[in-house]
Structure 1
Amino acid sequence: MEIKQLGANTFYVPGPTNIGLWRQNETDVYLIDAGNDKDAGRKLKKLLDAHGWTLKGILCTHSNADHIGGNAYLQRQYGCPVFSAGMEKAFISHPVLEPSLLYGGFPCKALRHKFLMAKPSDVVDVSNPGFPKEIEIIALPGHFLDMIGFRTPDDVLFVADCLSSEETLSKYKVGFIYDVKAYKETLEQLKTVKAKWFVPSHAAPAADLRSLIQCNLDVVQEIETTLLDILSDWTGFDEALRRLFDTYGLVMSIEQYALVGSTIRSYLAYFADEGKAVYRFSKNRMEWKRHEGAR
């Protein structure tokens, strides 16, 4: 792990999931997310020790395992609080909820691993008096339940999983979204936000995100159009999912079935709420069909 500076007291640690670090004073620091597992936690501790810093708290953008995997180890080492918001707190305290939500029931062992289910950690709300008052909290709903971002006094804004890099979008196409409408609204709002630096969790920091935001919005619109085309006639969920995988050359596995499948259910719910598609039950089978003219 290496640390890169973005402001007088704001840093980030590049990786599969970028980790933020804000230095409150010469010795005390806060992490923004904590990596994907115990090994990431160990590496972060080694990094902090090398600088003579003490971890005073972990600020969690949301509860996905790749963001909270280091929490438990670091909390044991430092006795520090873990801060989060809303429903994310329950998922951090009870990580089995993540694969349960994705799968839609109790997850089998193949889904109960560190990439989808972190170790539990004790968590308190961001309204707790111990939360650093210098940090601004930004609501970023859509990707997950109650995701938030953090702006440091150096005007560096950590925007969590709002955005995927263009390379990731090109390779995987269908990124995980919990609430499609909220996600689109969050990205449109983010276009108007100013900061010295923006730090997405899965893309390089940038001074201007508008191009990447539009790229992500364009992909969401493409998925909408593709899925609505698939629903040109009454279609069951599994058939719609299979055809989407075929369209984008994706390979089915139980993890992909859970992640992409959950996302497609979110699109279907969005279509139903927005009047773009309807569902019926035929011969004990749920089927979906787009409204004519919906795109």
Structure 2
Amino acid sequence: MAPELQTLAPGVHFLPGAVNSVVLEDRRGGALLVDTGLDESHARRLLRALEALALTPTGILNTHSHADHHGGNAFILKRFPDLKVFAPPLEEAIIRQPILEPLTLFGARPPRDLQTKFLLAPPSPARLAPEPGLARIGGVDLELIEVAGHASMMFAVRVGEVLYAADALFGPESLEKHPLTFCADSRLQKEAAARLGELEGVRVVLPGHGGPSQDLAGLVAANLAAYGRVTAAVREAVREGAAPVDELLARVCCALGVTMTNAGAVVLNRAVVSAHLTELLERGEVEMGVEGNRLLFHPVAGG
């Protein structure tokens, strides 16, 4: 076995890192790469690991468009320019035009501090992946499972008894390190995690961030509890008094013990609070209005 690759099942490996990359063998000397990591450094490790196993990449599947999951594409495509890159709907457009990620988070052309590799990966020519369900990509038979919520669209990948949950589930250390778990839609994030918990026959689950686990139910429960804590913290922040998103973000960070030290962290966590506010608005637990030229969120009267 290549020194850095770890095996989850015959022909199913992963390269651990800040983001996990999955390697799925096609049994003919090739392998589909699922998520390529943040940057060239991770991509180099991934290609060295493949070379040690005498494997050649047959394709790339990006589970979603966040820079830490497709930032390695560009380096791999320099070595293997004919590789096809697949991603879910909308996500493939962002991978082709990565400026859309920081632009969306900031709401306008992002300043230089928001154009780092953590928010702005090199572009790569992604195309639409097959629809959710059984599929064949890069010569590998797999199942794509829709798990939108963390991103606008995202796929988990199942091969036999192995489930790569992508960022629908996080390892315990990641949940502890990042209490404000990123999401584009907090309601869908919870629903996706719960659906994964209903899968039968999963022997091992690998989150996008964290080590493999044989306790799918326990991992799902930990993630749902973490997501619920964020919703509760946002609800309590609103109950402290009407405020705009940035003030609510400060209140939530105080409650959860989060310290932000750079612009990237602020715009990411601001998006998380906004997502949970939308969920609470839809539940009828908070209200939104414009007062004094400010967009404010406040408790429901009498609630």
Which TM-score tier does this pair reach, normalised by the shorter chain?
over 0.9
* Superposed displacement of residue 250, structure 1: 2.1
* Superposed displacement of residue 170, structure 1: 2.2
Are residue 214 (structure 1) and residue 221 (structure 2) matched?
yes
**Mapping for residues 29-108 of structure 1, pairs under 5 Å:** 29-79=31-81, 80-108=83-111
Alignment-derived partner of residue 159 in structure 1? 165
Q: Does the CA contact (< 8 Å) of 1:103 and 1:262 recur in 2?
A: no
* 1:293–1:267 CA distance, 2 compared to 1 (3 A): farther
Q: 1: distance between equivalents of 2:299 and 2:212?
A: 39
Alignment-derived partner of residue 118 in structure 1? 121
Choose 208-217 or 109-118, whichever is displaced more. 208-217
* 1:84–1:284 CA distance, 2 compared to 1 (3 A): same
SS of equivalent to 1:95:
coil
**Mapping for residues 1-295 of structure 1, pairs under 5 Å:** 2-79=4-81, 80-127=83-130, 131=137, 132=139, 134-152=141-159, 154-194=160-200, 195-232=202-239, 233-252=241-260, 253-291=262-300
Q: 1: distance between equivalents of 2:136 and 2:12?
A: 19
* Superposed displacement of residue 291, structure 1: 2.5
Structure 1 alignment gaps of length 5 or more: none
Q: Does the CA contact (< 8 Å) of 2:7 and 2:14 recur in 1?
A: yes
Q: How many corresponding residue pairs?
A: 293
* Superposed displacement of residue 196, structure 1: 2.2
Q: 2: distance between equivalents of 1:108 and 1:222?
A: 32
Q: Percent identity?
A: 29
* Superposed displacement of residue 133, structure 1: 5.9
* Superposed displacement of residue 123, structure 1: 1.1
Q: 1: distance between equivalents of 2:300 and 2:194?
A: 25
* 1:184–1:293 CA distance, 2 compared to 1 (3 A): farther
Structure 2 alignment gaps of length 5 or more: none
* Superposed displacement of residue 83, structure 1: 0.8
Q: 2: distance between equivalents of 1:16 and 1:146?
A: 21
Q: Does the CA contact (< 8 Å) of 1:12 and 1:18 recur in 2?
A: yes
SS of equivalent to 1:115:
coil
Q: Which amino acid aligns with 2:94?
A: F
Q: Which amino acid aligns with 1:146?
A: M
Q: Which amino acid aligns with 2:53?
A: H
Q: 1: distance between equivalents of 2:124 and 2:144?
A: 21
* 1:59–1:293 CA distance, 2 compared to 1 (3 A): farther
* Superposed displacement of residue 285, structure 1: 1.0
* Superposed displacement of residue 242, structure 1: 1.3
Q: Does the CA contact (< 8 Å) of 2:244 and 2:295 recur in 1?
A: yes
Q: 2: distance between equivalents of 1:125 and 1:236?
A: 37
Q: 1: distance between equivalents of 2:15 and 2:136?
A: 24
* Superposed displacement of residue 147, structure 1: 0.4
Q: 2: distance between equivalents of 1:133 and 1:49?
A: 19
1:175-197 CA-to-partner distances (Å, cap 9, x unmatched) read 10110111111111111012122
1:45-72 CA-to-partner distances (Å, cap 9, x unmatched) read 2221222111010111111111101101
1:61-112 CA-to-partner distances (Å, cap 9, x unmatched) read 1111111011011112112111111000011101111111222222111010
* Superposed displacement of residue 235, structure 1: 1.6
* 1:138–1:51 CA distance, 2 compared to 1 (3 A): same
Q: 1: distance between equivalents of 2:300 and 2:62?
A: 40
1:247-285 CA-to-partner distances (Å, cap 9, x unmatched) read 223223211111100111111111112211101111111
Choose 177-186 or 244-253, whichever is displaced more. 244-253
Q: 1: distance between equivalents of 2:163 and 2:172?
A: 20
* 1:185–1:99 CA distance, 2 compared to 1 (3 A): same
* Superposed displacement of residue 292, structure 1: 5.8
Q: Does the CA contact (< 8 Å) of 2:136 and 2:142 recur in 1?
A: no
SS of equivalent to 1:231:
helix
TM-score by length of 2: 0.91
* Superposed displacement of residue 26, structure 1: 3.6
